[in-house]
Amino acid sequence: MNKIPVSRPTVTDEMVEAMADAVRNERMVLGESVFKFEEEFARYTGTKHAISVSSGTDALVLTLIALNVRGKEVITSPLSFIATANSIVHAGATPVFADSSPKDLNIDPAEVRTMSGTAAIMPVHLFGQPARMDELREAVGEKVKIIEDACQAHGAVYKGKKAGSIGDAGCFSFYATKNMTVGGDGGMITTNDERLAADLRKLRDCGRTSRYVHDIFGFTARLNTANAAFGRVQLRNLDGWNERRRAIARRYAEKLRDVPEVILPPMGNRDITPVFHLFVVRAEDRDALARSLQSRDIETAVHYPVPIHLQPVYRDAFGYSPGSYPESERLADRVLSLPVFPTLADEDVDRVCEAIIDHYGGKI
Ligand SMILES: Cc1ncc(COP(=O)(O)O)c(C=O)c1O
């Protein structure tokens, strides 16, 4: 039987040829494909501006720096990839966490407490499930900036708006396993704020205002032209791929509906269209279930086994200990990511479901 990976990027000849063509015929850095990709991505998300950068982490760091959060506090979720909180530290601010909701695994608006030093909140649309943006805006008021960590949510929709177009800025990652990639590391920032966009364009390009003039302390954080060319082709496929991810999610939900040991993720509703970057179930015996699936050549993953505040570096720097964010800690002990990617076949989804049902001793 074939091994089923948890995730697999789709790479076509068209993408590879677009990349090769860009290397041969364009400026390797800030070539035409970069600006076309930005234009197309802005149009896709429904924002006025899109600024490409070299990773999702850089998208977050540069946005926070441009919003001048140094010395202040930024609220985010403890259940995310560590880069979310690291970006706050790298921008010279202090990360403050708000516990996750067991309903959607995103930041719980009821847990958000702003302080006089709160500059921004960075909700994560975790696993492709949009955070509760209206409630979050209500919780933080109008003065606090909202930066969407949309690194796992390309194409997700919240109340008619695409991820990345709801807050003051949206940050995306194009890492290999994301819903779309650029054939390597890459990132994008989306915003309607003209001034922020202009500052970000300078920040990613050594602080340049023109070739030899630099008026801010910038970075080398550009997206390579070849990667932008690859990303343009991926973007054209994104909606179709997301549709397939949702179909896979529905198939899992249908087949696992009667397995009481498995808690399924939210499937979306009138207001929310998720994009299932990951299909994350919850189980009390998560590790045993993962081992069972592994023995049947089905790969799974855990996003994330250790919440950010309990990582050694955060314990050391900020003094967190178990119990600080109990809901995130409970979730971290139970979450299990099942295989989901656009080329995953229905039969393979069925094989995963049968293995789960079998693990719990049920009838197939
Ligand atoms: C939620 C989240 N935030 C930030 C990042 C950082 O993105 P990158 O790996 O492109 O730096 C990632 C992905 O890796 C992520 O999943």
Structure tokens at 98: 């708000």
Domain presence at residue 223 = yes
Please check the confidence at residue 51 and state whether its pLDDT lies above 80. yes
Residue 84 phi, psi dihedral angles, 5° rounding: -55, -55
User: Does the pLDDT at position 363 exceed 70?
Assistant: no
Q: In the predicted model, what is the mean pLDDT of residues 330-340?
A: 98
Average pLDDT (289-317) is 98
- Average pLDDT on 7-12 reads 98
Ligand 1 pocket (Cβ < 6 Å) reads 55-57, 80-81, 83-84, 124, 149, 151-152, 173, 175, 185, 187
Using the predicted structure, report yes or no on whether residue 280 has a pLDDT greater than 70.
yes
311 alpha carbon, distance to own chain's centre: 19
Please check whether residue 262 is in contact with residue 287, taking contact to mean a CB–CB distance below 8 angstroms. no
For the entire predicted model, the pTM comes to: 0.98
Residue 111 Cα to ligand 1 midpoint, Å, equals 23
Strand partners, 104: none
pLDDT at 68 over 80: yes
CATH assignment of the domain containing 58: 3.40.640.10
Index of the ligand 1 atom closest to the CA of residue 58: 11
Angle at the Cα of 350 (from 346 to 354), degrees rounded to 5? Answer: 175
Residue 250 lies in a domain: yes
Same-domain pairing of 254 and 334: yes
Residue 100 confidence (pLDDT): 98
CA 47 to centroid of ligand 1, rounded, Å: 21
Residue type, 345: A
Distance (Å, whole) CA 45 – CA 8: 24
Q: What is the pLDDT of residue 1?
A: 78
pLDDT value at residue 231: 98
Rounded distance between C-alpha atoms, residue 271 and residue 214, angstroms: 44
| Residue from 87, 107, 125, 173 whose mutation best tests the ligand 1 pocket (most atoms within 8 A of CB) | 173
Q: Is residue 8 part of a domain?
A: no
Question: Are 326 and 260 contained in the same domain?
Answer: yes
Q: For 78-214, where are the E strands, in sequence order?
A: 94-97, 118-122, 145-149, 157-158, 161-162, 169-173, 187-191, 208-210, 213-214
Ligand 1 pocket test: which of 60, 76, 175 has the largest number of ligand atoms within 8 Å of its C-beta?
175
Other CB atoms within a 10 A radius of the CB of residue 264 amount to 16
User: Which residue owns the Cα nearest ligand 1 atom 10?
Assistant: 56
| Interval between CA 102 and ligand 1 midpoint (Å) | 22
Residue 281 located in a structural domain: yes
Model pLDDT for residues 257-272, shown as the tens digit of each residue: 999 999 999 999 999 9
The closest residue, in CA terms, to atom 12 on ligand 1 is 151
Is the confidence at residue 59, as pLDDT, over 70? yes
Pair 136, 284 in one domain: no
Give which of 310, 300, 289, 303 is closest to 338, Cα–Cα.
300
pLDDT tens-digit readout, 75-116: 999 999 999 999 999 999 999 999 999 999 999 999 999 999
Q: Is the pLDDT of residue 191 over 80?
A: yes
Q: Which residues pair with 118 in a beta bridge?
A: 73
* Averaged confidence pLDDT in the chain: 97
Q: What distance in angstroms lies between residue 262's CA and the mean position of ligand 1's atoms?
A: 27
Report CA(57)–ligand 1 centroid distance (Å): 6
Residue 353 pLDDT exceeds 80: yes
pLDDT digits (tens, 9 = 90+) for 119-171: 999 999 999 999 999 999 999 999 999 999 999 999 999 999 999 999 999 99
Inside any domain, residue 7: no
Among 208, 232, 256, give the residue marking a domain's end: 232
Distance CA 241, CA 106 (A): 23
CATH of the domain at 325: 3.90.1150.10
Q: How many structural domains does the chain have?
A: 2
Round to whole Å and give the CA distance between 325 and 330.
9
Q: 206 and 258: one domain? A: no
Backbone angles phi, psi at 132, to 5 degrees: -80, 85
Which residue, of 232, 250, 284, is where some domain finishes?
A: 232
Residue 5 lies in a domain: no
pLDDT band at residue 364 under the 50/70/90 scheme = low
Region 194-218 average pLDDT: 96
Based on the fold, state whether residues 169 and 250 are members of the same structural domain: no
Answer whether residue 16 shows pLDDT above 70. Answer: yes
53 within a domain of the structure (yes/no): yes
Boundary of a domain, candidates 232, 262, 282: 232
CA distances from 113 to 30, 85, 307 (A): 41, 17, 19
Q: Are both 32 and 151 inside the same structural domain?
A: yes
Distance CA 322, CA 329 (A): 8
Examine the domain organization and report whether 182 and 37 are in the same domain: yes
Comparing CA positions, the residue from 125, 103, 96, 100 lying closest to residue 111 is 100
DSSP state of 296: T
Residue 22 has pLDDT above 90, yes or no: yes
The minimum-distance atom of ligand 1 relative to the CA of 60 is 4
The one-letter code for the residue type at 280 is: V
38 & 181 share domain: yes
Residues forming a β-bridge with 97? 76
Question: Residues 77, 117: one domain?
Answer: yes
Together in a domain, 91 and 124: yes
The best mutation among 57, 129, 224 to test binding of ligand 1, ranked by most ligand atoms within 8 Å of the C-beta, falls on: 57
Residue with CA nearest ligand 1 atom 7: 56
Atom 8 (ligand 1): residue with closest C-alpha? 56
pLDDT number for residue 87: 98
pLDDT of residue 49: 98
- In a shared domain, residues 221 and 274: no
Distance of alpha carbon 306 from alpha carbon 44, whole angstroms: 34
Q: Is residue 185 domain-shared with residue 332, that is, in the same domain?
A: no
Domain residues for the domain of 251 are 238-359
The end-to-end CA distance of the chain, in Å, is: 18
